[in-house]
């Protein structure tokens, strides 16, 4: 538990730094119209994918090879001679990246449109996503817009190949899909999967689906895995997929009363229980062998904390109960909850008391990441030490958790090890002490969210 705690934190810290430092890499953008996604590449490697709103059938987004020709922060919108200034009424949102005359990649003032085909040809993104992309690309960054209905997918959990088929959103017919399938036929895909795919592409497809020997599981229309099974109408997913995407481990599933089962040495987590417990939905297309989860999620330090009760891209909310489970010092009244004495107002959403995730992160000196492809918000919150009834905040310096030397001295005193032990380590009172080194020799536990280390004091 102790070692896995530090490994988990290193992964979180390093991932954040990679995103922050990647702006100097050579970038490229690829947009696939049928999947409704934008893929950002760095030095030829996929960095991240984002959901989009694209052109409706009467004004389709044009396929082709383009480049970013113009960038603007808080753009103005010209509409038939009228000028709409920057602000919440501006349909271009907070950023604009033009790729050809009249068409660009931009933010929006209707986040509910993301995932649909409703624009006049432009490429809409969530505002927080378009800012992220804008900061990592330059003028002349290539933009490739394509129409690929089929994609080969190798499942990292089952280690088997499957085919993803997307809807024919611009009614181009089955011939394009047949040509793409013929190209995939040259790979080592089982013939029964190719045969089933040939049958499916001749029929209307309303949602993305997989052709595989398992059950394709989609979260907010983005594929998680095909390593899932169905039993008595319930969908169970490989626990590693649930952990990687949702942050839901078998241990947490047990605490939330979410069912698990084991098959051939692999643990599977019940997705229906997960959705029922947190206000989501699961639908199962038995004929196509695909399951669809509709639920936006909040994680804390990569760990599942429950449903997001906010309006995605406008506000993110997590329940007060989830905040209490973080282990921080708190008090509560009818108006707000106070975390380390800092008051955060409570709101009632969907019959649950919630608080604003951004305000919580700001109050604690944390941050927030978003994976809009899956509809997941991940709060990066600080680690505290708890000694008796006292709390001590750690610091993150260049990817390493450290403790103020004065704080360490105080803890040593309280533990009865006192000045001699502290001095023997050669520590200076003005220095920072590596947390992992400091904890050696202490008896401690770490909570589920990596937010609290509870040090057990030895009796004198």
Q: Which residues are catalytic?
A: 106, 122
Q: Look at residue 222 and give its three-state secondary structure.
A: strand
List the Cα angle 411/417/420 in 5-degree steps.
110
Token pair, residue 429, equals: 């009172």
Token pair, residue 218, equals: 């989609």
Residue indicated by tokens 């394509």: 146
Q: Do residues 375 and 219 make contact, with C-beta atoms less than 8 angstroms apart?
A: yes
Number of C-beta neighbours around residue 388 at 10 A: 12
Query: What is the DSSP code string of 312-360?
Result: TTT--EEEHHHHHTT---EEE-SSEEEETTEEEE-EEETTEEEEEHHHH
List the Cα angle 140/372/244 in 5-degree steps.
115
| Cα distances (Å, whole numbers) of residue 68 to 36, 154, 180 | 19, 32, 28
Q: How far apart (Å, rounded) are the C-alpha atoms in residues 162 and 226?
A: 8
Q: How far apart (Å, rounded) are the C-alpha atoms in residues 295 and 283?
A: 12
Q: Do residues 301 and 381 make contact, with C-beta atoms less than 8 angstroms apart?
A: yes
Half-sphere exposure for 274 (CA within 13 Å, toward CB):
32
Strands 390-393 and 27-32: unpaired
**Distance in Å from the first CA to the final CA of the chain:** 26
Residue 92 main-chain phi, psi, to 5 deg? -85, -5
């Amino acid at each position: 538990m102790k070692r896995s705690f530090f490994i988990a934190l290193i992964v979180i810290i390093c991932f954040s730094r990679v995103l922050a430092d990647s702006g100097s890499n050579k970038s490229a953008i690829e947009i696939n119209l049928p999947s409704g996604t934008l893929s950002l590449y760095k030095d030829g490697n996929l960095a991240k994918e984002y959901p989009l709103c694209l052109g409706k059938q009467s004004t389709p987004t044009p396929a082709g090879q383009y480049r970013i020709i113009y960038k603007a922060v808080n753009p103005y919108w010209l509409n038939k001679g009228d000028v709409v200034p920057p602000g919440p009424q501006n349909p271009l949102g907070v950023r604009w990246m033009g790729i050809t005359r009249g068409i660009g990649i931009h933010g929006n003032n209707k986040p509910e449109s993301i995932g649909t085909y409703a624009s006049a040809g432009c490429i809409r993104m969530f505002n927080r996503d378009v800012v992220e992309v804008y900061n990592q690309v330059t003028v002349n960054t290539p933009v490739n817009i394509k129409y690929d209905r089929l994609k080969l997918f190798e499942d990292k959990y089952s280690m088997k190949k499957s085919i993803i088929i997307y809807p024919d959103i611009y009614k181009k017919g089955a011939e394009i899909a047949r040509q793409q399938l013929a190209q995939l036929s040259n790979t080592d895909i089982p013939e029964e999967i190719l045969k089933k795919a040939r049958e499916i592409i001749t029929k209307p497809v309303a949602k993305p689906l997989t052709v595989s020997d398992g059950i394709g599981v989609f979260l907010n229309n983005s594929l998680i895995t095909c390593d899932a099974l169905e039993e008595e109408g319930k969908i169970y997913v490989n626990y590693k997929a649930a952990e990687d995407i949702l942050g839901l481990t078998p241990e947490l599933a047990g605490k939330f009363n979410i069912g698990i089962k084991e098959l051939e040495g692999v643990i599977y987590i019940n997705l229906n229980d997960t959705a029922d417990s947190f206000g989501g939905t699961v639908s199962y297309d038995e004929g196509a062998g695909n399951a669809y989860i509709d639920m936006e999620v909040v994680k804390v330090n990569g760990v599942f904390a429950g449903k997001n009760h906010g309006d995605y891209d406008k506000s993110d909310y997590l329940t007060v109960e989830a905040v209490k489970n973080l282990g921080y010092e708190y008090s509560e009244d009818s108006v707000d909850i106070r975390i380390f004495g800092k008051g955060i107002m409570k709101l009632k959403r969907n019959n649950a008391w919630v608080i604003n995730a951004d305000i919580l992160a700001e109050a604690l000196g944390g941050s927030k990441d978003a994976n809009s492809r899956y509809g997941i918000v991940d709060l990066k919150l600080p680690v505290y030490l708890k000694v008796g009834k006292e709390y001590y905040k750690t610091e993150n310096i260049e990817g390493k958790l450290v403790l103020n030397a004065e704080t360490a001295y105080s803890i040593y005193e309280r533990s009865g090890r006192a000045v001699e032990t502290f001095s023997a380590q050669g520590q200076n009172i003005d220095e920072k002490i590596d947390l992992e080194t400091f904890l050696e020799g202490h008896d401690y536990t770490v909570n589920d969210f990596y937010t609290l280390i509870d040090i057990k004091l030895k009796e004198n």
